[in-house]
Copies of this chain bind each other. A is one copy, B any other.
Amino acid sequence: MTSTASAAPVDQKLRCDAARNRERVLAAAMELYREHGGAFTVEEVASRAGVGIGTVYRRFPTKNALLDELARPFFEQLLATAQAARAHPRPAERLEVFIRSMAEQHAATGVRSGRLWDTALARPLRDQYQRTVELILADARDGGRVRPDVDVYDVGVVIWTVGGLIDATGRAAEVIWRRHLDLVLDGLRPGGHTSPTTRPIQQSDWEALVVAAPALRLG
**Chain A residues within CB distance 8 Å of chain B:** 1-3, 33, 37-39, 64, 67-68, 70-71, 75, 110-118, 147, 149-151, 153-154, 156-158, 160-165, 167-168, 176, 179-180, 183-184, 186-188, 190-193, 195-196, 200-202, 205-206, 209-219
Contacts and interface: CB of A to CB of B under 8 A. Distances in A.
Main secondary structure on chain A at its contact with chain B?
A: helix
Nearest to A205: B153
B165 A157 contact: yes
A183 B187 contact: yes
A112 B217 contact: yes
B39 A214 contact: no
Contacts of A162: 161
Nearest to A203: B153
Nearest to A156: B206
B205 A38 contact: no
B110 A216 contact: yes
B116 A156 contact: no
Given A184-B187, A188-B187, A219-B39, A112 B201 contact: no
Contacts of A115: 210-211, 213-215
A38 B179 contact: no
A116 B215 contact: yes
B214 A67 contact: yes
A63 to B, nearest CB: 10
7 contacts: A67-B216, A71-B215, A111-B215, A149-B200, A161-B161, A184-B184, A190-B192
